Amino acid sequence: MKISTCHASAFLVTGCLLWTYGLSAAYGDPASMIRLGRVAMTQDHPYAALSCFRSANAEIDTHPSAYRADRLSALSGIGYSALWVGNAHEAERAYRQGLLLAHSAADQKTMRIGLARALIDLGRPREAYQLLQPIHKVSHEAALQSAIAANLLAWNTLAWASLQEAAPTGHYVGPLWLQRLYGKTRNYVDFILKPRVDIGYHYSSDSDHNINQIYDAGVTIPGAGLGDNALGPTTWHVGYRQTQINDSDGQVGISALSGGWGASFDRSWQYMVRGGVGTARNWTFGQAEGQITYQPDDSWGLAVSVDRTPIRTFEAVQNHIIVNSISAGGFGRLRNVGTFAASYFHQAFSDGNQRNGVVARVTPEFYSFDSIPVNIGVQGYFRDYSSGYVPFDGYFNPQHYREALGYVIYVQKFSPFWTMRLYAGFGSQTANGTTTAAKDIFGTLTGLVSPYVQVSLTGGYTQVASAYGGGAGYHRSYVQANISIPVN
């Protein structure tokens, strides 16, 4: 059997520790293995530590009554070292078992903080925040983890308050790695709470010679407004967009000015509304978008969204084609299994066309590697819609369309604030009874150059149909960049 370099290193370090401390019989003694694990952690050998704690726990399983006093220490060590190497699933199992066994206030605090860290890594910040509430005012580390969870939930006012509890003087007192985590978390929370300038650029080109270039500029101002501002600020936004459309039929520009805001009503309800006006040559039109979401916990949620926007092809703009869309759906998560999401949408086009469809995604839990901050996952995607028949009016409009794609997803965190996601999807699409193969490949890179600028980069290549075009041989490439810069 092939042993990875990291695991071989863990065994080597463990063996050296056994030799150094004269504990050649330690694999039959849980207390000795726990001591070895702690030594390995102090010497920055998390894989060796995890191996020791696992061995101790396995030995305790064979004689649970004889080693009852060592169980909590073994589970705490497994959780801590598993998080260190990036195995949040194993850490969650260990801390959950430990929380049931912990009776003292100190042991309860250790298990709650560890379990919260694992839940945050697993994408369940709401559960983590609730778990920490009994102790976040008496533990600096619990307050720091509460701030991280609140930030992920967009409860930025609460996140700032938790950071004040974690470090009342502005300097976190504790291990170096927690001091660094506090600094990074504070940078991000401060960034979100500041006014900022937003700049964006989008370029796309397809096989029908349709080229779109979009330039965005705007200002985002966190402040008071219609919502629970004790939870998070109301975010106000004003923006200007210039769109340039070029294709084989001609060239046209669209100018649009918009404004709006978003906020949380409470810990379950959030909403966003924007509206504005656009012009293209002798055509003036209204634009709007809005969304309201209900998510009472990490396991499920519902959302309704509306949108009114022009179709970005030369002929569609010439024909003054606006599409009004409404979508309603939700998601459900089975713990340690995966997530299912589905929505129904209706589109009403200004030329009289009506469209109805569904979208569904199935995403099993991602696989995490022990040695590197990388996750690998898969996703099934399905879309189906039917349209009324109208003459060609400048956009892709089959009477019936269906696509089914399977994606492989690669996610890597370079730091708490830099994440890369790569998607490679392969499958088929059927338009009016004609089936063709389809590929959809794209990636995103998001990050914060704290505290100066937030960056988002996207690029991709797709054969999947859109409003721009579709059918056999159709393909489109695109890139997009967005940056946000705080103004003070």
Using DSSP, state whether 311 is helix, strand or coil.
Answer: coil
Q: Binning pLDDT at 50, 70 and 90, where does residue 5 land?
A: very low
**Residue percentage of the chain with pLDDT more than 70:** 93
Q: What is the mean pLDDT of residues 320-332?
A: 97
pLDDT tens digit string along 392-433?
778 999 999 999 999 999 998 877 678 899 999 999 999 999
Q: Binning pLDDT at 50, 70 and 90, where does residue 2 land?
A: very low
pLDDT tens digit string along 26-79?
456 888 999 999 999 888 888 899 999 999 999 998 888 778 778 999 999 999
**Residue percentage of the chain with pLDDT more than 90:** 70
Chain-centroid distance, C-alpha 394: 35
- pLDDT for 468 equals 84
Average pLDDT, the chain: 90
pLDDT tens digit string along 376-389?
999 999 999 999 87
Q: Which residues of 174-187 are buried (b: 16+ CB within 10 A; e: fewer)?
A: eeeebeebbebbbe
Please determine, for residue 270, whether its predicted confidence score (pLDDT) is greater than 50: yes
Q: What is the mean pLDDT of residues 454-479?
A: 93
Contact 322, 338 (CB under 8 A): no
Please determine, for residue 158, whether its predicted confidence score (pLDDT) is greater than 80: yes
- pLDDT for 174 equals 87
Inter-axis angle of helices 176-192 and 140-152, to 10 degrees?
A: 40
pLDDT tens digit string along 220-233?
999 999 899 999 99
Please determine, for residue 146, whether its predicted confidence score (pLDDT) is greater than 50: yes
Q: Binning pLDDT at 50, 70 and 90, where does residue 4 land?
A: very low
Contact 362, 346 (CB under 8 A): no
Q: How many CA atoms lie within 13 A of 335 on its CB side?
A: 9
Q: Which residues of 47-85 are buried (b: 16+ CB within 10 A; e: fewer)?
A: bbbbbbbbbbbebbeeeeeebeebbbbbbbbbbbbbbbb
CA dihedral 152, 154, 157, 159 (to 10 degrees): 0
Q: Which residue has the higher pLDDT, 468 or 321?
A: 321
- pLDDT for 17 equals 52
Cβ atoms within 10 Å of 222's Cβ, excluding its own? 19
- Whole-structure pTM value: 0.85
As separate numbers, helices (DSSP H) first and strands (DSSP E) second, the chain gives: 11, 17
Q: What is the third-level CATH fold of 5-192?
A: 1.25.40
Please state the domain extents for the chain: 5-192, 197-486
Report the sign of the C-alpha dihedral through residues 181, 182, 185, 186, in that order: negative
pLDDT tens digit string along 422-464?
999 999 999 999 999 999 999 999 988 867 799 999 999 999 9
DSSP strand pairing (300-310 vs 338-349) = unpaired
Contact 184, 258 (CB under 8 A): no
Distances (CA, A) of 87 to 111, 205, 370: 16, 41, 6
Which helix (DSSP H) or strand (DSSP E) does residue 116 occupy?
A: helix 105-121
Q: Measuring CA to CA, which residue among 325, 238, 320 is closest to residue 279?
A: 320
Q: Which residue has the higher pLDDT, 202 or 369?
A: 202
Q: Measuring CA to CA, which residue among 454, 369, 451, 452 is closest to residue 419?
A: 454
Q: Which residue has the higher pLDDT, 225 or 15?
A: 225
Q: What is the mean pLDDT of residues 455-484?
A: 94
Contact 194, 486 (CB under 8 A): yes
DSSP assigned state of 124? -
Q: What is the mean pLDDT of residues 468-472?
A: 85
Q: Binning pLDDT at 50, 70 and 90, where does residue 22 land?
A: very low
Query: Dihedrals φ, ψ of 315, to 5°?
Result: -65, -40
Contact 481, 200 (CB under 8 A): yes
Q: Binning pLDDT at 50, 70 and 90, where does residue 23 land?
A: very low
pLDDT tens digit string along 71-110?
999 999 999 999 888 788 899 999 999 999 998 999 999 9
In the chain, the largest separation of any two C-alpha atoms, in whole Å, equals: 87
Residues with Cβ < 8 Å from 169, sequence gap 6 or more?
none
N- to C-terminal Cα separation, the chain: 57
Contact 129, 150 (CB under 8 A): yes
Q: Which residue has the higher pLDDT, 314 or 28?
A: 314
Using DSSP, state whether 51 is helix, strand or coil.
Answer: helix
- Which residue has 């290193």 as its token pair? 9
Which helix (DSSP H) or strand (DSSP E) does residue 353 occupy?
A: none
Q: Binning pLDDT at 50, 70 and 90, where does residue 371 land?
A: low
Residues with Cβ < 8 Å from 176, sequence gap 6 or more?
none
- What CATH number does the domain located at 197-486 have? 2.40.160
Contact 159, 132 (CB under 8 A): no
Report the sign of the C-alpha dihedral through residues 14, 17, 18, 23, in that order: negative
Return the structure tokens found at 430: 């059927």
pLDDT tens digit string along 178-192?
898 898 889 889 888
CA dihedral 332, 335, 339, 344 (to 10 degrees): -10
Return the structure tokens found at 61: 């399983």
